[in-house]
Amino acid sequence: MRGSEIKAALHSGRRIYGIAVEGYSQPRWPRNFAQYDLDFVFIDTEHTPQERQTLSWAAQAYAANNIAPFVRIAEPSPTLAAQCLDFGAQGVIVPYVETVEQVKGMVGAVKYRPLKGAALRAVLDEGHFPNVETEEYLEHYNAEAVLIIMIESPEGVKNLPAMLADGKVDGVLLGPHDFSVSHGIPEQIEHPVFEAAFKEVIAICKANQVGVGIHYTSGGMQLQEKWIEWGCNLIVHLTDTIFVARGIADSLSALRKKFGDDVADVDADKIGLSGHAV
């Protein structure tokens, strides 16, 4: 899918499916993943030590295979967001968003680049463009650009209605690890406090016709199925790292065990919400 198609799906409530990618320097993965009808990949730069040239290559390779590349930047930075879009990303995922001002800055970078300075502030504050030609140009120039914000705290939940009010955010993604920790219930994703807050996020997004989802990293599939039944349509399923770990556990370890060789006592399903072994 293209970014423009993703935007339409998110706002209409149609489900889209993708995976998170940490090892995005793998040259075979874009073409191979395209066989499995992935709509997008969530390319992480918040927690992975990759550099910009590799990131640019990966974004363009996935886009060339009709998989929309979304890049999670390291912080709510308009500069980082614009850089990602300039080198080939079709969407930006912004971590730990809590304020209207943060969203406004991201909207400026994602929806109105390359407009900057006083001209950009006039658009963001007053909806005033230099002229109609510029407004139409910016709409065309940023047609594929998707803006997804991550809600990971009680403050983010509280301010979410105001953050979505201008209609420029395309999707909201819950980060379950940080969300649970900031609510005082670390990694307890079936705790009533977690579920109540998550349902509130879903309701707010639905009321504003904005896509909503959660990054599923651990637990049984029934968890993800439940969240979809609640109304999630932005489906981020595991990571490449977890898929590899489970493949080793399910296949290679089973082979060793069959022939009586030593097998590490590791349960791949025990990978924590952070995406790392616990």
Alpha helices in the chain (DSSP H): 3-12, 29-34, 52-64, 78-86, 100-111, 117-126, 132-141, 154-163, 176-182, 192-207, 221-230, 240-247, 253-258
Phi/psi of residue 86, each to 5°?
A: -65, -35
CB burial of residue 12 (10 Å; 0-12, 13-18, 19+): exposed
CB burial of residue 155 (10 Å; 0-12, 13-18, 19+): middle
**Apex 206 CA angle, 226 and 122, nearest 5:** 140
Residue 271 per-residue DSSP state: B
Q: Which residues pair with 68 in a beta bridge?
A: 40
Interatomic CA distance for residues 249 and 259, integer angstroms: 15
Q: Which of 28, 40, 48, 39 is nearest to 69 (CA)?
A: 40
Interatomic CA distance for residues 112 and 156, integer angstroms: 24
Tokens 């981020």 sit at which residue? 236
177 catalytic per annotation: no
Catalytic residue among 47, 128, 140, 276: 47
Give the residue numbers marked as catalytic: 47
